[in-house]
Structure 1
Amino acid sequence: MREVAFIKQNKEKWLEFELAIFGKAKKNPDELANLYIQMMNDLSYAQTYYPKSKTVVYLNHLASQIYQKIYKTKRTEKNRVSEFFKTEVPLLVYEYKRYLLYAFILFFTMVGIGVISARYDTDFARLVMGDDYINMTLENIKKGNPMAVYGTSTNWGSFIGITVNNLKVGAQCYFYGIFGGLGTFYYLMQNCIMLGSFQYFFFEHGVFWKSVRGIWIHGSMEIFAIVIESMAGFIFGASILFPKTFSRLNSFKIGFKNSFKIYLSTIPFTCAAGFLEGFITRYSIDMPIWLSVSIIVSTLGLISFYYLIYPAIVHKKVQQLSAHLN
């Protein structure tokens, strides 16, 4: 069947799916489950005969939305928060995985720009981080503890202040996506260039490894979370710029709802990073190398697994479930 005929044949049914998603057509959980099965059948057909078509993207999006609605309305004794992190967010991350790729490409590009800028402009680090911070850090390097700044206040004071600041940065990366993603790009660029110049500054002064052992104890989750928050901001912005087959208002509603869930999922990681920065990083200079490396690898591994690997696992389980129901 030609794609145009396939679309014409199923157009009314897909419209019914959209009405169900937006709550304009009341459906009980069983009816939604039946819609989901039909949608997966259409998606499988489209993937087979029109693999690179926009129809596949559209149907995959609708299927994901119906699946989430089933889990939202279905009577279950499962913990709602648990389902949010175990099912909803991973499926959304998988659905929007191309935006995650865009965010990482921009991240590494901007960090590289920060490194190159700091290398060829001796005053660039001062321009980005300020004279007071640079002078203080140079004094700490002379004293043999480049990470001394992390021990200048109490544990709880550092934890609260750092966490609030990191949550603010994450919120900026996400909510400024409303300007078509340009606001998200600006804040991601700002933080990445700062990170690149910051790390090159330590490299230039011969304490790069000491800085890595300290900064990345908390930085693995903190920086990764910023990338995910930027991903959510780009999804938010794209929903306004590219409504596809939806009206711009409905596209905005879907984009905001889905991206906001992804953004919310980063908050526990941001808080955990704040805790590590407030209570653990200050001891990195005296910490055994194996311990600091273990913390970095484990924190980076945890957040990487959740956003890079686990979504594919959940998506595969959903496909297997659909095949079983069929």
Structure 2
Amino acid sequence: MREVAFIKQNKEKWLEFEQAIYGKTKKNPDDLASLYIHLMNDLSYAQTYYPKSKTTVYLNHLGSQTYQKIYKTKRTETNRLKYFFKTEVPLLVYQYRRYILYAFIAFTLLTLIGVVSAQNDESFVRVILGDQYVNLTLENIKEGDPVAVYKSSSDWASFIGITINNLKVGTFSYFSGILVGIGTFYSMFNNCIMLGSFQYFFYQEGVFWESVRGIWIHGSMEIFAMVIEAAAGFILGASILFPKTLSRMNSFKIGFKESFKIFISTMPFTFAAGFLEGYITRFSKAMPTFLSVAIILITLSIISFYYLVYPFIVHKKLKTNVSTL
């Protein structure tokens, strides 16, 4: 079938989807499930015969919106917060998983640039981190405690100050995505260059492992959350740059609503990272190596599972639920 005929034949049905999804008409979950199944058939057909067509892009977006609608109207949880973290965010992360991938690729490349720059320019670390921090850390290394700077204030003050700072950085990274993603990339560029040069500095001074044991106790969640916040900013920027079949304003409204939910989901991890930095990192030198490594692996596993594995589990469960409706 030619694409024009395919569109003409199914246009009314797709419009019905849009009206149901965006609240213009009310449909019960069974009707939505039936519409979803038909839409998936159309999407499969379009992917086979028109793989690079705007029709395929449109149907894919419509399908993702539809299954979220089905799942939301059929949920049995009465706790809205529980539903948000257990179902809504994972489905959004699955829907926008390619932006998560883009953010991790950017993070890796930019951090490597920081490492290479520090390796090839002796003054680079001081330019990025500042003379005061470098000199203080060099003194701490001589005294046998490379990460002593993280132990200089009280537990409570560290927790509050660190958490507020991380929230500010994450908020700026996300909302600067409104500059069609350029602001988010700039924020990520600065943070990754700093991270790369920072870690190379410790490597150069021969205390890389000591720095990992201390810093990554809280850094696993803090840095991972930073990447997810950047991904949310990229989603926001893409909604403006690439409206697809929607008007640019409608695309922005949808992009902001959905990316903001992903951004909000990082808050518990940011608070957890602040708590670890304020209360646990200061004991990294005294604690056994196996314990510090265990904390790093556990925290990294928790946040990795939530954003990289769990969304696929929720999506698979949703498809099963839809097929049995």
Question: What TM-score, normalized to structure 2?
Answer: 0.94
Would you say the 8 A contact 2:77–2:83 is kept in 1? Answer: no
Q: 1:9 aligns to what? A: 9
Whether contact under 8 Å (1:40, 1:322) holds in the other structure is no
How many Å separate the matches in 1 of 2:75 and 2:90?
21
Give 1:59 shift. Answer: 2.1
Distance 2:79 2:56 in 1: 32
- 1:240 aligns to 2:240 (yes or no): yes
Map Cα deviations across residues 45-74 of structure 1 (whole Å, 9 max, x no partner): 434544555434322322222232334444
Does the CA contact (< 8 Å) of 2:146 and 2:210 recur in 1? yes
Counterpart residue number, 2:148: 148
Correspondences of 1:1-326 after superposition (within 5 Å) = 1-51=1-51, 53-74=53-74, 76-325=76-325
Contact kept? 1:159, 1:279, Cα under 8 Å: yes
| Contact persistence 1:103–1:230 (CA under 8 A) | yes
Structure 2: how far apart are the matches of 1:145 and 1:24?
Answer: 62
RMSD: 1.7
SS of equivalent residue, structure 1 residue 158? helix
Gaps of 5+ in 2: none
Once residues 148 and 203 of structure 1 are traced to their aligned partners in structure 2, the CA distance between those partners, rounded to angstroms, is 16
Question: Shift of residue 35 of structure 1?
Answer: 3.0
Moved >6 Å (runs of 4+):
none
CA–CA distance in 1 between the matches of 2:238 and 2:265? 20
- Indicate how the Cα distance of structure 1 residues 289 and 21 shifts in structure 2: closer, same or farther if over 3 A, else same: same
- Report how far residue 41 of structure 1 moved: 3.3
SS at match of 2:285: helix
- Give the deviation of 1:83 after TM superposition: 1.5
Compare 42-51 and 57-66 and name the one that shifted more: 42-51
Q: Distance in 2 between matches of 1:167 and 1:25?
A: 39
Does the C-alpha gap of structure 1 residues 319 and 221 become closer, same or farther in structure 2, counting only changes over 3 Å?
Answer: same
Contact kept, 8 Å, 1:147 with 1:214, in 2: the verdict is yes
Deviations 1:203-253 (A, max 9, x none): 010000000011111111100101000000000000001100001111011
Paired with 2:24 and 2:91, the residues of 1 have a C-alpha distance of 24
TM-score (structure 1 length as normaliser): 0.94
Give 1:30 deviation, angstroms.
Answer: 4.5
Contact in 2 for aligned 1:213/1:292 (Cα 8 Å): yes
For 1:155 and 1:230, the matched residues in 2 are separated by 29
The answer to whether the 8 Å contact 2:54/2:244 transfers is no
Deviation at 1:4, TM superposition (A): 3.1
- Whole-angstrom CA distance in 1 between matches of 2:81 and 2:90: 13
2:85, 2:39 → 1: CA distance? 24
